[in-house]
Chains A and B, each alone.
Chain A
Amino acid sequence: MDFYNLSSAVELRRSQLAVGSPELINSKISMHDHTLFSRVGFRGRGVASFLREQGISVPNVPNQSVVTAAGVLVLRLSNTEFWLIDTDKSQHEFIEALELASKGVTNVYRLYCQHSHGCFLVKGKNTPNMFAKVCGVDLSEKVFECSSIAQTSVARVNAIIAKQVILDEEGYFVLSDIAGSQHLWNAISDASAEFN
């Protein structure tokens, strides 16, 4: 069968999120819906070397991330699982090319995170305090360092939280089951309200 391209028809993607004011919760914490930004994931024993062959440097240990010069966030979720996320909606072609390049590579299995997960970017000084209301992992400044990833439960749904500096600004990427996006968006908005 023909290769089934998950990166295709980018213009027909729709986020199911019903977001009132999409970009801002209040003056202290902002949240942005990045669900439609391109991303791709791979799993398998051959992924680390595949990505390096593509000129992408990857974190050395699980639950760490790096950012490429072009602004692609590279998450390492286990020894063999890597996700690549476009952080400013400029890297679609790069992501698509990567997906196509993985075809037929031994021990590289493409994952479906483009469509299985919603993606939010949460920013603001009080973000760790906000997360303490919805998440049981300590994300405070001293403990959860930049480049760290926590795969945990947020507002009772599984989520991946990745802290990284994008364009000189620190932010938390939150990736979680796309079908639960609205619930998570509402829970984070509610938790953020007090920090206005």
Chain B
Amino acid sequence: MKIMNCPLNGPRNISEFVYGGEVKPMPDMVNCSDKEWAEYVFYYDNTIRIVQEWWFHSPSGYWFIAERHTASDEILKTYDPSEIFKERVDFEMKAKPAQEVVS
């Protein structure tokens, strides 16, 4: 069984963790096109590279970010999400664009 290093709890069996998807920036929800939104929600690159992923250490309820190589499956580093998400995020009400035609 694979071992992952939790930034809070140290190296643990991978079965203690829950995968939380890739770290992806959300597009501007109000102004992006349907296609851009669908790209964000549904599509993944699935190429050989280093990905940033969300992982959750279940026994301690702790989310962190892991950088993993998709071919070798090697986990290169793990760190607290505050290293990426430093600022409070707010959403603002904006006028919606005209409804797009759905083909």
Distance in angstroms between the alpha carbons of A78 and B13 in the assembled complex:
19
CB atoms of A153 and B8 under 8 A apart: no
CB atoms of B58 and A158 under 8 A apart: yes
Whether A77 is near chain B, meaning CB under 8 Å from some CB there, is yes
Q: Which residue of A has the minimal Cβ distance to B62?
A: A78
CB atoms of A136 and B12 under 8 A apart: yes
Knowing A136-B13, A153-B16, say if A159 contacts B59 (CB, 8 Å): yes
Between A and B, how many residue pairs show CB distances below 8 Å?
30
Secondary structure class of chain B's binding surface, majority of residues: mixed
Interface residue count on the B side (C-beta < 8 Å): 11
Nearest chain B CB to A152 CB, angstrom units: 5
Q: Can you list, as one digit per residue, whether each of A122-154 has a CB less than 8 Å from chain B (1) or not (0)?
A: 000000000000001100000000000011110
Interface residue count on the A side (C-beta < 8 Å): 13
Distance in angstroms between the alpha carbons of A78 and B8 in the assembled complex:
7
CB atoms of B59 and A153 under 8 A apart: yes
Going nearest first, the 6 A-B pairs with the smallest beta carbon separation are A158-B59, A151-B60, A151-B59, A136-B13, A152-B59, A153-B16
Besides A63-B9, A152-B16, 8 more A-B contacts (Cβ < 8 Å) are A77-B60, A78-B8, A136-B12, A150-B9, A152-B9, A153-B15, A153-B59, A158-B58
- Residues of A in contact with B (beta carbons under 8 Å apart): 62-63, 77-78, 136-137, 150-153, 158-160
